[in-house]
Amino acid sequence: MESASQTMHDAIIIGGGPAGATAACVLARAGKSVVVLEKEHFPRFHVGESLLPYNREIFEEIGVWDQIQAAGFMVKRGAQFSAAGGMPRARLVFAQGLFTEHPEAFQVERSVFDDILLRHARASGADVREGVTVTGHEVADEAVVVRTSREDGADDELRARFLLDATGMAAFTGTREGIRRVYPQHRKVAVFGHFSGVEMPCREERGDIVLVLRERSWFWMIPLTDERASVGLVLDLDEFSRLGRKPEALFAEVVRTTPELHRRMGRAQPATPLHVITDYSFRMDCMVSPRLVRIGDAAGFMDPIFSSGVMLAMQTARDGARCVIEALEKNQTLTTSMHRYECETRRTMDRFWAFIERYYTRHFTDLFLQPSSFLHLTSGINAVLAGRTRLPWSVRWRIQVFFFLVWLQKRVPVVPRIRWRNGAGGNYAPQTAQIPK
C-alpha cells in the first residue's frame, strides 16, 4: 500500500486564492484527484475587492454562483472616474453598454469572498490543506515532486502528474526559475487599507467604484459595505522614492492636498493598518512547460486600474485546469492546448495593457473623462472594462478608433485639454476642464 507521500495525485495546486480555488473546482468536478496547498489560514485580508460582470460566467460554471449571490456583497453597477478637483468626471454604467452582456458585478471583502471559493473547492472534492508552505519543487519526466513544511515543523513530499502555480504575485515557480520580468516603464507602489466613514456614491450610484485621477498618481475607493471602503493610492516607484516620506504620511498628504479626496475622506477613520506593495506589475517568459501550468497572478499581473485581477485570475485558472484535464486524459506532459492557453492569455492581457499604458497619458485622460456618444465608442470601452475577453469585431474596431483619437488628442485637441497645476508639497492635481455638450 502506498504511503501518503508516495500517492500519485493528478494535480497539485500551490495557492488557495481565487485562481487556485477555481482550478481545484474544475479539476475535482471532472473527477481528478487534486491537492491545494495554502500557506495561510482562511479567512485572511487581501486586496483586489472589485469584481467585473464577466466573473459571473465562471461562478456559474464552477457551481458557486448561488453562494456568491447569497453572501450579501455590495452590488457594483458602474465605475466613476474623477479628476482630483472633482471635475471633469465620467461614469461608466455596465447596463448601458451595447456590447456588455452582464449588467452587474460585486464589490467583495476578499477575506469573505476567497473563503467562500476555497470552501467550495473542498466541497467539490479537492483536498485543501491550509497552513502548508511549499519549500521547493522538481519537475521530472514521470512526475512533479513538491516539498512542503507544515506549521508544526513537519516536512513532507507530494507527487502529482501536474503542478498548477497559483501563488499570486509571489509567482513561486517563475521566481525560482528566474523568468519573472517587471515592466521597467511601469514600476508602481500601492499604499492601501480599509476605512470607515468614507463618502461614497449613494442611491442609484450606490456600489460604484470611484477612481480619482491625479497627474502622477491615482486613488481607488471601493465600497465594501455602507460603512466600510477599501482605499488605495498608486504612484510611480521613482516618485515614491523621491518624496522620501513614510507611507502613512504620504497617504495623508495626498488626501489633504487633493480636493476630491479631501471631500470624501474628511471624516474617514482607518479600519485596518495601511499596506504597501511595490513592483507588482510583471510578466512571465513562459506560462506553461511540461507538467506545469501557471495561472492567475502567477502567470502575470497587471496594474489594477481597471479591476481585472480577480476576473483574469479565475479565467486563467478555469482555462488552465481544462488544459490539465485534457493532458491527463491523453497521458501527455505538454499539449497544443497548453500552448494555446498561453497565447490566448497573453492576447487577453495585451488588450488590457493597451488601455493601461494609454491611461497613464494626459491625452487618454482628456478623452476618457469627457466621453461622447460618437460611434458608440464608449460602449466598446464598456465591454472591455466589464471583463469581456472574447470581443466581436463591432467592439474591436471601436477600440481602435478610440485609440486613434487618443493619438490625435496628443497633437490636436479633439476635446478640451485638462489643465494641471502644482499642488501643495510638490504634488500635482488637475484643474477643472469644461465638459463639451
Same domain? For 117 and 213 the reply is: no
Residue whose C-alpha is closest to residue 81's, from 219, 188, 255: 219
CB 116 within 8 A of CB 59: no
What's the domain range around 254? 188-278
What's the pLDDT score for residue 425?
30
Does a structural domain hold residue 45? yes
Same domain? For 171 and 22 the reply is: yes
Q: What is the pTM of this model?
A: 0.90
Q: Which 3 state secondary structure label does DSSP give 265? A: helix
Does a structural domain hold residue 92? no
Angle CA 355–107–164, to nearest 5: 70
CATH of the domain at 194: 3.30.9.100
Same domain? For 204 and 145 the reply is: no
Same domain? For 226 and 199 the reply is: yes
Same domain? For 260 and 141 the reply is: no
Same domain? For 200 and 340 the reply is: no
What's the pLDDT score for residue 52?
94
Same domain? For 203 and 293 the reply is: no
Does a structural domain hold residue 402? no
DSSP 360: T
Three-class SS string for 147-206?
Answer: EEEECCCCEEEEEEEEEEECCHHHCHHHHHHCCEEECCCCCEEEEEEEEECCCCCCHHHC
Ranges in the chain, pLDDT < 70: 1-5, 279, 420-437
Domain-terminating residue out of 258, 278, 298: 278
Same domain? For 33 and 167 the reply is: yes
Does a structural domain hold residue 100? no
Domain-terminating residue out of 292, 327, 350: 350
CB 334 within 8 A of CB 289: yes
Same domain? For 269 and 287 the reply is: no
Domain-terminating residue out of 301, 334, 350: 350
What's the pLDDT score for residue 4?
53
Total domains in the chain come to 2
What's the pLDDT score for residue 304?
77
Same domain? For 248 and 339 the reply is: no
Same domain? For 290 and 273 the reply is: no
CATH of the domain at 129: 3.50.50.60
What's the pLDDT score for residue 427?
36
Does a structural domain hold residue 384? no
Same domain? For 52 and 170 the reply is: yes
